[in-house]
Amino acid sequence: MLTVEFQGETGSPGMLPWLRVADACHRIRLASDTERRRASEMSWVEWRQPSSYLPDREPDGIPSSEDWLWLRDRPRLLGIDRIPADSAAGLARMLAPSRGITRAGLDALALAAAAREARLDPVSWSLALLEWDPRRWSHDVQATPGVEPALGWWSVWATPDWMPGLSGPGLALALADLARTGRYRCDHATGPDGRDHPAPPDVWDRIDGLGLAGSFGIVEGF
């Protein structure tokens, strides 16, 4: 698990939002194909973020000044308009008056860790951001996930701007459930909590237009 330390305090993914995304990316980046498949299947069963089913991984490096320079040139990859500081230390100094010295330092280091992970693997970063902070996700800059409905949370159907107002984790997991159980054009899927998640006609029309009916057990011409 990724953590950061500042002035004797340790920050974990559970307390630092940027570190939560960075740790998810770290798990996805280092996971084997088998681990990813199992995580996707468990996500379908329990309707939770796939990365939460991947094993913890020890850090394989630390953020560098190059990572921060990379971030300053590409802030939108993290869903940020701009980075106002030349370094993590500089950002910590800027944040200290409003957040306190310790929290400012932890937040700045968490952002540096996120920059490193995004730089190392933009595709895994895209999936992690989609899982944990989808409001920062955009097709304009993020690597686009696969279109196969069975991918669930790791599919394009989970992205906020694929079908605005319709696409998102709820729809993605509903389609994964319908695909894995062969229920073509069913109008909803029921989550583990008993709530129904709709699959409107517009979504099915889009699926048909993409030639994905076969993902739901439909054979063309029959």
Integer angstrom CA distances of residue 200 from 100, 166, 167, 182, 185: 47, 8, 11, 17, 9
Looking at the fold, whether 103 and 11 belong to one and the same domain comes out as: yes
Q: How far apart are CA 193 and CA 219, in angstroms?
A: 32
Predicted TM-score of the model (pTM): 0.94
Domain endpoint, select from 136, 167, 183 = 136
Cβ 23 vs Cβ 60: under 8 Å: no
The DSSP symbol for 217 reads: T
Q: How far apart are CA 27 and CA 196, in angstroms?
A: 30
Residue 222 pLDDT > 70: no
Q: How would residue 104 be classed by pLDDT, with cut points 50, 70 and 90?
A: very high
For the chain, give the longest Cα–Cα distance: 67
Looking at the fold, whether 20 and 90 belong to one and the same domain comes out as: yes
Decide: helix, strand or coil at residue 31: coil
Domain endpoint, select from 114, 136, 158 = 136
Residue 95 lies in a domain: yes
Residue 29 lies in a domain: yes
pLDDT in tens, 16-37: 999 999 999 999 999 999 999 9
Count: domains in the chain: 2
Cβ 3 vs Cβ 16: under 8 Å: no
Residue 222 lies in a domain: no
Span 45-66, mean pLDDT?
97
Span 180-190, mean pLDDT?
96
Give residue 66's domain range.
4-136
Span 80-105, mean pLDDT?
96
pLDDT at 219: 56
Looking at the fold, whether 27 and 130 belong to one and the same domain comes out as: yes
Looking at the fold, whether 15 and 122 belong to one and the same domain comes out as: yes
DSSP 3-state helix, strand, coil percentages of the chain (rounded to 5)?
Answer: 55, 5, 35
Residue 218 pLDDT > 80: no
